[in-house]
Amino acid sequence: MIDYEYEKLKKDLKTELKIELQAALKAELKAELKAELKAELFSLTDWSAAPQKLADYYSKVGTGIFAAYRAFRWVNDKGEGFLEGIPHPDPIRLEDLVGYERERAKVLKNTEQFLAGLPANNMLFYGERGTGKSSTVKALLNR
């Protein structure tokens, strides 16, 4: 029992460190891309090329809240709704989830189709408490 808990804790820590490292590398890459963009814009003699350079930059690093976070939740506050960034999303992975492999495979395939710009279906997750509905969605984020 103790060995299992130790191994699970070790695995969870590795996952968390991996996510933190990915975030740090993304921030470093973003800073490098920003410096490159700044240098390119300062060197322009023909500003008609600037909009495309800006569009390329923002397509790589995102904008606003979408550049700052990789996970979001919908918040409804006094009838007003908005997206709120989640600073440290749950590090769970699909490989960590046990059971329901066939159902998760369908969710994964549908999500991959959606991200590729192909036709995809809306999904409604239902079932008993503790069957992995929320965990499946969270795990897709870490794929």
- Give per-residue pLDDT as tens, 9-22: 666 667 666 767 77
- pLDDT reported for residue 118: 93
Q: How far apart are CA 114 and CA 67, in angstroms?
A: 20
Q: Is the dihedral of CA 92, 108, 95, 18 positive or negative?
A: negative
Q: Where are the domains of the chain?
A: 92-143
pLDDT digits (tens, 9 = 90+) for 45-79: 888 888 888 888 888 777 778 878 888 999 998 88
Those residues with Cβ within 8 angstroms of residue 95's Cβ, 6 or more apart along the chain or in another chain: none
pLDDT digits (tens, 9 = 90+) for 109-143: 999 999 899 999 999 999 999 888 999 999 998 88
Q: 37 or 25, which is more confident? A: 37
- pLDDT reported for residue 57: 84
Band (106; pLDDT cuts 50, 70, 90): very high
Those residues with Cβ within 8 angstroms of residue 74's Cβ, 6 or more apart along the chain or in another chain: 81, 82, 83, 84
Q: How far apart are CA 20 and CA 89, in angstroms?
A: 11
The answer to whether the pTM exceeds 0.85 is: no
- pLDDT reported for residue 124: 94
